[in-house]
Amino acid sequence: MPDTPQHDLPKPVLLVCTTCRAGQPLAEGETPPGRHMLDALEHALAAHPAPPVELRPVTCLSVCRQGCAAAMTQPGKWSYLLGHLSPALAGDLLAYGETYAAHATGAVLPSRRPESLRGAVLGRLPSLAEPSKDNAA
């Protein structure tokens, strides 16, 4: 992975499932689509003037039937699980990363995501860093 600039403030982390076969059979020795997507993201990030996210490869996000898969997360924000992705969407994922990084809670409206990613959200998890106000319901 190319070196990415280090910052004092943690960037959003884009977790990328590198073992994802995207529901397709994979010949022995063939590179999984998820790994191709990580490669595409690394290249896009290396060429980005202000890399908005940190990439982190993960072995299986359990989205096997709806992959390629990734997840956007940052402490204190909603985490988003994304499916139906492909290496061709690397640029759009970084554009989403910029919007997510700038959003106070991470709850970026579908209309603010690149069009290719409007149907990509499989689900989201709230930050559990602070006590939940919802807990007393």
Where do contacts with a second copy occur on this chain (CB under 8 A)? 1, 13, 15, 18, 54, 56-63, 66, 69, 71, 73, 75, 79-81, 83, 121-126, 128, 132, 134-137
If you write DSSP's letter for every residue of 46-78 in order, what string do you get?
Answer: HT-SS---EEEEES--S-GGG-S-EEEE-TTS-
Residue 101 Ramachandran class (φ > 0 left, ψ -120 to 50 alpha, else beta): alpha
Q: Which residues are CB-neighbours of 111 under 8 A, at least 6 positions away?
A: 118
Tell me how far apart the 2 most distant CA atoms of the chain are, in Å. 52
- For residue 80, the minimal CB distance to a second copy (Å) is 7
* Both structure tokens of 127: 């930050």
Matching residue, tokens 């909603």: 78
- For residue 84, the minimal CB distance to a second copy (Å) is 12
Which helix or strand (DSSP H or E) is residue 14 part of?
A: strand 13-17
